[in-house]
Amino acid sequence: MGPLIVATSTRVSFFRTPTAPPGGTCRYRKASARARWPPMKGSGQVEEVSNEPLYRDRVCGIDIGKAGMAATIRVPSEENPARRASETREFATTRRGVLALADWLRCWQVPAVVMEATSDYWKGPFYRLEAEGLECVLADPKQVKHLPGRPKRDTCDSAWLAACFERGAVRPCFVATPEFRVIRLHTRYRRDLTGERTREKNRAEKLLESAAIKISSVVTDLHGVTGRDIMDHLIAGERNPKVLAQFARTRARRKITELEHALEGAEFFTPEHAALLKAMLERIDGLDAQIARLSQVIERLLAPHEEQLAQAESMPGWGRRSAQDALAETGTDMSRFPTPAHLASWAGRTPLDAQSGKRAGRAQHKKGNKYLGAITGETAVSAGRTQTREGARYRKIARRRGKAKACVAVGNTQLRVYHKLLSNPGMRHEDLGPDYYERRAQTRRKIAYHVRELEELGLEVTLCRPSPAQDDPEPTQAA
């Protein structure tokens, strides 16, 4: 061979084959060949294999943008059935463009379509093609990520999606039914408005702090009856701390002296501050009215699912609004999640494995449905204040590993119970008590003690459970 050029980081091994003496043969080479290479069986020829098994025979992959989309179909070749034929076309994302795509797919007898979840652009074509009777599959971008080195164009992406789909390499994402798509729009918008109202309340508190008014350090709720009356009179022009403190209500009247001290900086509250505070309070009132109207609509839309709402509300830490938001995200059909672990994973309430060799990786939770994750975060903290099994679990984990991991762990437990409840109509949550983990540990200690005593007598002990144990009643009830 001629000279070779390799990178300095490449590991190279040199081996010199012994040469035969003049007029003789090289015995080393023959012996080495016989020792290293066993006799080959078969014809010794490389055969072409074209009968690769396919998950689907006729598929279409769509790469969606805001105004247009590229679609690639893959069907059996008419000349050679063992080979594949493909064609790529571009369509608009308008109603007329999607209907033209549906007609083209019917001409080629393509029954299934796969598309990537790109922002919210996928929803229009997905719903339209679904209404036209086609099987639509939504792919997670992480599953169909383009390999490095391949061209990154819409047409290439659509061909890649179709190739992955026909080989069964795409797992469908959860897509809500048409009924719960409408309900989900209302619950998500209500949650967004609630977050905006909270931000506006924080702005009002910071405005008062900038004017040296420390009322939020005395009253529990700045926007309660007492705090709102005091802010209304501040806007009206009242600056006397003793007069303002007399607007305290109920339990706040015990703190009149503290209120007077907190309101002594009212002289720094200028008319400009009053105008800003008035605008903030008006916006808070407007958001309250919008949230109330949305709640009425959500109650009407979820009226046929009152039984499932009652099941969810029976769990510790869950209220009416939490049950409504969770039901809007998951729907009532739990068969779409094969196991409770699938539901917890979809919501992002499971640990994220990042192990490589001996490195365990950082303990993080995976990303999932952010709305359902927010719901379980609130319900987990609320359940942590109760004297229940979930509360004991939250406090137990929070002491050792922190509150963030306790929220994820308790959220995982709650979603598993939620799946169990909705899978069994009429079932209600039955709490196992705050001493559940202590009782279970005591039972295990007793079992270990008696087994050890019997083994010391020379007996071999075999434990079996003919029926579900009393300390682990999860198979018979949702707990």
Q: Does 416 score more than 90 pLDDT? A: yes
Arithmetic mean of pLDDT over the chain: 83
pLDDT tens per residue, range 4-58: 565 555 555 555 545 545 554 444 444 344 444 445 444 555 555 455 567 888 8
- Whole-angstrom distance, CA of residue 439 vs CA of residue 442: 5
Judge residue 77's burial from the number of C-beta atoms within 10 Å of its C-beta, 0-12 exposed, 13-18 middle, 19 or more buried.
exposed
Provide, rounded to the nearest whole percent, the portion of the chain with pLDDT above 90: 38
pLDDT in tens, 141-168: 777 775 565 667 788 888 888 888 888 8
Q: Are 138 and 115 in contact (CB under 8 A)?
A: yes
In the block, residue with structure tokens 């992959």: 61
Percentage of the chain modeled with pLDDT above 70:
82
| pLDDT band, very low/low/confident/very high, at 280 (cuts 50, 70, 90) | very high
CA distance 353 to 364: 8
Higher pLDDT, 174 or 363: 174
| Average confidence (pLDDT) over 170-193 | 91
Give the pLDDT score at 294: 95
- How sure is the predictor about 237, in pLDDT bands with cuts at 50, 70 and 90? confident
Tokens, residue 104: 């083209």
CA angle 206, 210, 212 (to 5 degrees): 115
Would you state the pLDDT for residue 182?
A: 93
Contact 29, 17 (CB under 8 A): yes
CB of 139 closer than 8 Å to CB of 117 = yes
Q: How far is residue 322's CA from residue 311's CA, in Å, rounded to a whole number?
A: 12
Are 316 and 391 within 8 A, CB to CB? yes
Q: Report the distance separating Cα 107 and Cα 92, nearest Å.
A: 19
Residue 473 has pLDDT above 80, yes or no: no
Contact 318, 413 (CB under 8 A): no
What does the pLDDT read at residue 200?
95
CATH superfamily of this structure's domain 59-166:
Ribonuclease H-like superfamily/Ribonuclease H (3.30.420.10)
Which pLDDT score, from 0 to 100, does residue 185 have?
94
| pLDDT (0 to 100) of residue 27 | 45
Q: Which has more confidence, 448 or 118?
A: 448
Q: Is the pLDDT of residue 253 over 80?
A: yes
pLDDT digits (tens, 9 = 90+) for 72-126: 998 888 888 778 888 889 999 899 999 999 999 999 899 999 988 878 889 989 9
- Number of Cβ within 10 Å of residue 142's Cβ equals 8
**Number of neighbours of residue 463 by Cβ within 10 angstroms:** 7
Sorted by where each begins, the domain ranges of the chain are 59-166, 180-301, 306-352+364-479
Query: Residue 275 pLDDT > 90, yes or no?
Result: yes
Q: pLDDT class for 180, splitting at 50, 70, 90?
A: very high
pLDDT at 60: 92
